[in-house]
């Protein structure tokens, strides 16, 4: 799964270009940088790789979502519908612009359940944010139809699904804006970093300014830039962008390896009739970063997880139901509205109300689900070995 597994000479060479000039900043210093523009080059590579006209790099995936929200005018009083199964970053970004994360149930796609989304729409709803979790996609046709009917914005959190597609379009390029994360454990990495993708020039121009203190970037002299609006510093550095530039050139290879390893593992698990798999709205577009599978019930899932723990083969397998970072069940800080700085009382009350709703429909899915991360470094023998042990643990759990 993570691009860091392939760190090598390509990454070192790109970083050395930057170290040789010492210009670590992405803007300005036109003379001394000797025409080395890693962030610009990476943005261009992203546009051509993913088939999108505009890309704005950021310091992280979280700041990419924040930037997308701000550029689309999402803020005070607005509700953003998002799934109860995601990484904490998704709701952090919504909160950071002053909007209310409206968490709703997932279905067996492990992404937004379109009918749960419909039921959650109110007069305050401004945006639907599907999260393409674990390498695969939400039902984008259904969500797009809902957005069109209700005049809502569509923002894709594609941070975990770089390289995945839906009916031929790259995930992250379908909505009004989309985001990738290039943090250290993502499909391709910059060490830290992220990007906003959009087809809309105005949205891009706002992202460009917002991530650099609101600078309009209109002239050659940074110091003379005007500030049409207030921004922040969510810039990526040249060093980080250099790593990404090496990684994006390997992305197609990463995806090939993932698909190959994923197929071997899936075929082995599919021999067990009690196991079912995540449904995937467009199976051809799965980036195969994870293989996500279901046991018949929670009890069996817990038993299998415990056996995997005992047999020391749990590493790289995720039982999200018990996980602090990815599922509503353990987000006590959100449920209790614990922030370091005060929120407005209305905002806090709305956030807490949304986080404390009934998520039993998601529980019924997540309590049975295990996701196996697909490594880039496995040899074919190693995949088969992993698969054999996994199958052994499952059979032991089922026969108990």
**Would you count residue 175 as binding ligand PLP (CB under 6 A)?**
no
- x/- mask, ligand PLP, residues 298-337, rule CB under 6 A, reads ----------------------------------------
Task: CB nearer to ligand PLP: give 165 or 189.
Answer: 189
Among positions 42, 68, 89, 153, the unique one binding ligand PLP when judged by CB under 6 A: 89
Please list, in sequence order, all residues whose beta carbon lies within 8 angstroms of the beta carbon of residue 243, skipping any fewer than 6 positions away.
Answer: 11, 14, 15, 189, 190, 191
Helix, coil or strand: residue 89: helix
Segment interacting with ligand PLP, rule: CB under 6 A, options 36-44, 57-65, 147-155, 365-373: 57-65
Cβ–Cβ under 8 Å, residues 250 and 10: yes
Question: d(Cα 97, Cα 155) in Å, to the nearest integer?
Answer: 14
Question: Closest approach of Cβ 166 to ligand PLP, in Å?
Answer: 16
Nearer to ligand PLP, 87 or 359 (CB): 87
Residue 209 DSSP one-character state: H
Are 98 and 342 a contacting pair, CB within 8 Å?
A: no
Contact pick of 2, 3, 61, 209 for ligand PLP (by CB under 6 A): 61
Whichever of 281 and 392 has its CB closer to ligand PLP, that residue is 281
Instruction: Measure the CA–CA gap between 342 and 45, rounded to whole angstroms.
Output: 41
Backbone angles phi, psi at 229, to 5 degrees: -155, 170
CB of 372 to ligand PLP, least distance (A): 16
Of 147-166, which residues contact ligand PLP (CB under 6 A)?
157, 159-160
Q: Which residue has the tokens 């697909």?
A: 374
186 catalytic per annotation: yes
Cβ neighbours of residue 251 closer than 8 Å, sequence gap 6 or more: 3, 49, 162, 163, 187, 188
Q: Which residue is nearest to ligand PLP (CB)?
A: 61
Site for ligand PLP in 190-209 (CB under 6 A): 194
Binding test (CB under 6 A) with ligand PLP, winner from 62, 67, 173, 261: 62
Marked catalytic residue, from 186, 309, 330, 384: 186
d(CA 263, CA 276): 15
Q: Confirm or reject binding of residue 183 to ligand PLP (CB under 6 A).
A: yes
Q: Does 362 bind ligand PLP (CB under 6 A)?
A: no
For residues 391 and 269, the answer to whether their CB atoms sit within 8 Å is yes
Q: What value does the CA radius of gyration of the chain take, rounded to a whole number of Å?
A: 21
Least separation in angstroms between residue 133's CB and ligand PLP is: 6
In angstroms, rounded to a whole number, what is the distance separating the alpha carbons of residues 84 and 356? 11
**Closest CB to ligand PLP among residues 82, 295:** 82
Does residue 261 interact with ligand PLP by CB under 6 A? no
- Shortest gap between Cβ of 294 and ligand PLP (angstroms)? 20
Query: How would DSSP label each residue in 285-351?
Result: G---SEEEEE-SSHHHHHHHHHHHHHTT--TTEE-GGG-TTTBGGG-HHHHTT--SSPPPHHHHHHH
User: Can residue 87 be called a binding residue for ligand PLP (CB under 6 A)?
Assistant: yes
Chain centroid to Cα 113, Å, comes to: 18
Considering only residues 113 through 142, tell me which ones interact with ligand PLP, judged by CB under 6 A.
131
Question: Smallest gap, in angstroms, from Cβ of residue 87 to ligand PLP?
Answer: 4
CA atoms within 13 A on the CB side of 62: 11
Identity of the residue, 62 or 261, whose beta carbon is nearer to ligand PLP in the bound complex: 62
Q: Report the interface residues with ligand PLP, using CB under 6 A.
A: 60-62, 86-87, 89-90, 131, 157, 159-160, 181, 183, 194
Active site residues per annotation:
186
């Amino acid at each position: 799964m993570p691009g860091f597994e392939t760190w090598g000479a390509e990454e070192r060479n790109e970083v050395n270009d930057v170290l040789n000039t010492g210009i670590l900043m992405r803007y300005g210093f036109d003379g001394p940088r000797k025409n080395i523009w890693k962030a610009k080059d990476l943005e261009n590579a992203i546009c051509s790789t993913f088939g999108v006209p505009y890309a704005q790099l950021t310091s992280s995936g979280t700041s990419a979502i924040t930037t997308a929200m701000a550029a689309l005018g999402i803020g005070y009083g607005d509700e953003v519908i998002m799934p109860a199964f995601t990484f904490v970053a998704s709701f952090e970004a919504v909160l950071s612009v002053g909007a209310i994360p409206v968490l709703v149930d997932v279905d067996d796609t492990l992404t937004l359940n379109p009918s749960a989304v419909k039921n959650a729409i109110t007069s305050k709803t401004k945006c639907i944010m599907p999260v393409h979790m674990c390498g695969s996609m939400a039902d984008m046709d259904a969500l797009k139809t809902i957005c069109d009917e209700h005049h809502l914005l569509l923002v894709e959190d594609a941070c975990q699904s770089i390289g995945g597609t839906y009916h031929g379009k790259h995930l992250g390029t379908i909505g009004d804006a989309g985001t990738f994360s290039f943090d250290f454990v993502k499909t391709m990495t910059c060490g830290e970093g992220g990007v906003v993708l959009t087809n809309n020039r105005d949205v891009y121009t706002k992202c460009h300014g917002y991530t650099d203190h609101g600078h309009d970037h209109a002239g050659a002299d940074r110091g003379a830039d005007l500030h049409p609006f207030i921004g922040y510093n969510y810039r990526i550095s040249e060093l980080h962008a250099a790593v990404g530039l090496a990684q994006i050139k390997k992305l197609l290879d990463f995806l090939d390896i993932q698909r190959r390893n994923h197929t071997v593992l899936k075929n082995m698990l599919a021999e067990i009739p009690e196991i079912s798999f995540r449904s995937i709205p467009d199976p051809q577009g799965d980036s195969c970063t994870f293989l996500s599978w279901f046991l018949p019930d929670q009890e069996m899932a817990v038993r299998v997880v415990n056996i995997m723990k005992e047999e020391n083969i749990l590493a790289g397998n995720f039982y999200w139901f018990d996980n602090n970072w990815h599922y509503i069940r353990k987000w006590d800080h959100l449920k209790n509205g614990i922030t370091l700085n005060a929120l407005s009382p209305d905002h806090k009350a709305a956030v807490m109300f949304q986080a404390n709703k009934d998520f039993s429909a998601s529980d019924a899915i997540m309590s049975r689900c295990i996701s196996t991360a697909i490594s880039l470094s496995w040899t074919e023998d190693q995949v088969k070995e992993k698969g054999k042990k996994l199958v052994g643990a499952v059979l032991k759990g089922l026969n108990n």
